[in-house]
């Protein structure tokens, strides 16, 4: 039986959900892949836990001070890193150093946070290529909604002509509430925050930055683009007024915050903004906290994927889908 040693950096809601799901699936990994999976290290910003024989959930409650940082993870002997720290697309966030260190050391890396991929995606890909490490990013690209895997696997060989995505559940919920129930943005936002699915600081969601991050990562990692955030036109939903809502209702249109990448000759152009859809368009029916992606290709036509859960468990499951793909690619089956 082969052994795979896993480390998780960033041990908040998603990191913990990933740890629990990973341990709950250990029998599956043994049966399907013939791999004994051990969670050898976890860490937050200042503390963590380590056991080369594998951590059990009772070690998650009280973490040990000082066990944190890229060097701690490197010294754990992990052969797979799952990075689940905060997303900061302006600096790359703390995840950047963990990911750089892991890829440099040839450690397969599953990235859930978006910041590092936005800020330094090309260099990270180069590091992975140089060391032979795999770099998987489902968690950072709308998680449970298949996006990057559609481009990499299902549409392999096709030329993608256009991608449109409703990639941010919070802004979709807010727009939907304004359209269907006639509430204002502030009221809808207060509801979403009370329900725990909008951040206390919701600007990244509302102003379109979270959508832009996912779109940029999809364009760069899925379509071979080399875009920076400054290449994107980004508009959010913060300026939607009751006048807009009344007009869209009168016209029978459904507004959605959509990120689009469009092939224009050899170039790819990306933007985020509100687009409106007639009732016969699938995007008109993406309600509430739902997400969707539509991909137009030269040879396979148009593909639409809708749904996928949001939240820590669905995100953890997307990261562990990446882990299974690593096992398959490494022929650990």
Ligand X SMILES: NC(=O)c1ccc[n+]([C@@H]2O[C@H](COP(=O)([O-])OP(=O)(O)OC[C@H]3O[C@@H](n4cnc5c(N)ncnc54)[C@H](OP(=O)(O)O)[C@@H]3O)[C@@H](O)[C@H]2O)c1
* Separation of alpha carbons 65 and 218, rounded Å: 37
> Which of 3, 24, 34, 46 lies at the binding interface for ligand X (CB under 6 A)?
46
Structure tokens at 143: 């998680």
Any catalytic annotation for residue 136?
A: no
Using CB under 6 A as the binding rule, whether residue 311 contacts ligand X is answered as: yes
Using CB under 6 A as the binding rule, whether residue 9 contacts ligand X is answered as: yes
> Which of 37, 41, 80, 84 lies at the binding interface for ligand X (CB under 6 A)?
84
Q: In the complex, what is the shortest distance from the CB of residue 49 to ligand X, in angstroms, rounded to a whole number?
A: 12
Instruction: Indicate if the alpha-carbon torsion angle 22, 23, 29, 34 is positive or negative.
Output: positive
114 is in an annotated binding site: yes
304 is in an annotated binding site: no
289 is in an annotated binding site: no
* Active-site residue, selected from the candidate residues 214, 289, 291, 321: 214
When the beta carbons of 15 and 165 are compared against ligand X, the nearer one is: 15
Using CB under 6 A as the binding rule, whether residue 41 contacts ligand X is answered as: no
* Separation of alpha carbons 146 and 169, rounded Å: 14
- With CA atoms as reference, report the closest residue to 134 among 330, 333, 331, 332: 330
When the beta carbons of 208 and 255 are compared against ligand X, the nearer one is: 208
Structure tokens at 56: 């059990």
When the beta carbons of 41 and 155 are compared against ligand X, the nearer one is: 41
* Separation of alpha carbons 171 and 210, rounded Å: 10
When the beta carbons of 41 and 245 are compared against ligand X, the nearer one is: 41
Using CB under 6 A as the binding rule, whether residue 68 contacts ligand X is answered as: yes
* Separation of alpha carbons 87 and 118, rounded Å: 10
* Separation of alpha carbons 15 and 8, rounded Å: 7
Q: Buried b / exposed e across 9-19, counting CB within 10 Å, b at 16+?
A: bbbeebbbbbb
> Which residue stretch of 21-29, 82-90, 128-136, 320-328 sits at the interface with ligand X (rule: CB under 6 A)?
82-90
Q: In the complex, what is the shortest distance from the CB of residue 88 to ligand X, in angstroms, rounded to a whole number?
A: 8
- Secondary structure (DSSP) of 241-260: -HHHHHHHHHHT-EEEEEEE
* Separation of alpha carbons 83 and 123, rounded Å: 17
Q: Tokens 């895997």 correspond to what residue?
A: 149
Using CB under 6 A as the binding rule, whether residue 172 contacts ligand X is answered as: no
**Per CB under 6 A, which of residues 11..40 are in contact with ligand X?**
11-15
Q: In the complex, what is the shortest distance from the CB of residue 313 to ligand X, in angstroms, rounded to a whole number?
A: 8
How far is the CA of 157 from the CAs of 150, 151, 173, 297, 298, in angstroms? 11, 9, 35, 10, 10
When the beta carbons of 15 and 146 are compared against ligand X, the nearer one is: 15
Give ∠ CA 11-14-20 in degrees, rounded to 5.
80
Q: Which residue of this chain has its Cβ atom nearest to ligand X in the complex? A: 12
The site map against ligand X for 116-145 (x = CB under 6 A) is: -----------------------x---x--
How many residues in the shown chain lie near ligand X by CB under 6 A?
A: 25
302 is in an annotated binding site: no
- With CA atoms as reference, report the closest residue to 142 among 67, 60, 233, 221: 221
**Residues forming the site for ligand X (CB under 6 A):** 9-15, 43-46, 68, 84-87, 94, 112-113, 139, 143, 310-312, 315
Active site residues: 214
């Amino acid at each position: 039986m082969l052994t795979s040693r896993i480390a998780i950096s960033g041990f908040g809601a998603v990191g913990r959900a990933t740890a629990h799901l990973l341990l709950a699936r250990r029998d599956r990994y043994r049966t399907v892949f013939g791999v004994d999976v051990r969670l050898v290290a976890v860490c937050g910003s200042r503390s963590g836990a380590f056991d080369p024989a594998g951590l059990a959930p009772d070690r998650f409650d009280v973490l040990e001070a000082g066990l944190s940082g890229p060097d701690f993870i490197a010294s754990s002997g992990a052969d797979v890193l799952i990075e689940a720290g905060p997303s900061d697309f302006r600096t790359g966030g703390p995840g950047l150093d963990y990911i750089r260190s892991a890829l440099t050391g040839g450690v397969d890396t599953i990235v859930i946070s978006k910041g590092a991929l936005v800020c330094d995606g090309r260099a990270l890909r180069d590091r992975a290529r140089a060391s032979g490490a795999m770099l998987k990013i489902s968690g950072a690209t709308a998680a449970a909604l298949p996006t990057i895997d559609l481009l990499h696997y299902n549409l392999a060989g096709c030329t993608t002509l256009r991608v449109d995505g409703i990639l941010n559940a919070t802004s979709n919920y807010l727009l939907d509430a304004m359209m269907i129930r006639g509430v204002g943005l502030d009221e809808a936002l207060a509801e979403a925050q009370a329900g725990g699915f909008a951040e206390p600081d919701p600007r990244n969601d509302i102003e379109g930055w979270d959508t832009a991050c996912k779109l940029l990562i999809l364009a760069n990692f899925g379509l071979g683009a080399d875009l920076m955030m400054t290449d994107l036109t980004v508009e959010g939903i913060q300026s939607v007024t009751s006048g807009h809502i009344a007009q869209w209702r009168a016209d029978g249109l459904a507004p959605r915050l959509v990120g689009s990448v469009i092939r224009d000759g050899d170039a790819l152009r990306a933007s985020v903004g509100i687009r409106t859809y007639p009732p016969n368009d699938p995007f008109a029916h993406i309600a509430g906290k739902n997400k969707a992606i539509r991909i137009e290709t030269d040879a396979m036509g148009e593909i639409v994927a809708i749904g996928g859960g949001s939240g820590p468990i669905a995100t953890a499951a997307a990261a562990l889908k990446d882990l299974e793909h690593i096992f398959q690619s490494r022929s650990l089956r």
